[in-house]
Structures are given as C-alpha cells and as structure tokens.
Amino acid sequence: MTTAQNMSGYVWSAVESAPVRELFPGIRLRPLWTGGNGASAQVVEMDPGACWEGVDVHEPGPEEVFVVSGVFNDGYRDYPAGSFIHAPAGSSHIPQTATGCTLFVFYPEG
C-alpha cells in the first residue's frame, strides 16, 4: 500500500454524523464542508413527494448536483441516480421528487 506524503488541509466528513437541518417539510440538509471562499458541499435528502417552497435561485455562483439515489426533478425533468447537473449562476428551478432522493450538492462560489 502506498501512503500519502502531504495531506495538509485535507478535511473529511461522514454523512451520518453531519448535523441535520430541515429546509422545508421532507427536505433535509447535511453540511459536509465549507471553504474560506464561501464554497460548500452538502448532502440533501428529500422524502417522497417533497417539494421546495418557492424558486431556488443560484446566486452568487453555480450549483453542481449529483443524484446519489432515487429520482430528482427540477420542475422540468427527472434525473435518475447517477445523473450530474450543472446549474449556472443566475439559473433557477424548483427542486422536487415523487419517489424520494439523496443529492450531493456543491457550490464552488458560495
């Protein structure tokens, strides 16, 4: 086994131990990491039938989403597990799911 020589600055998180914050009924956020420039990574868990209240606008920067499990819908189309979505800054959608889903969400610019 090869070992890493420089792991300075590495940060790790376990989803199970991340604090849970309910954003809307049936939609929970688990923060995993926040960078000094406002970047952040989190897991979003959505129960079957859950829907974001209002429109989710991506500001100041883009949103990167990977569908870990289930089927995510952005108000326009379904994205099954394994899908990657890049939503540019200024874009918007209404996150929802009929079946329930788990998402990895990354904001590179806050």
- Contacts of 2 by beta carbon, 8 Å cutoff, 6+ apart: none
Hey, which residues does 67 pair with through a beta bridge?
103
pTM: 0.90
- Comparison of pLDDT for 56 and 9, the residue scoring more: 56
User: Do 18 and 32 contact (CB within 8 A), yes or no?
Assistant: yes
pLDDT digits (tens, 9 = 90+) for 71-102: 999 999 999 999 999 999 999 999 999 999 99
Q: Is 63 helix (H, G, I), strand (E, B) or coil?
A: strand
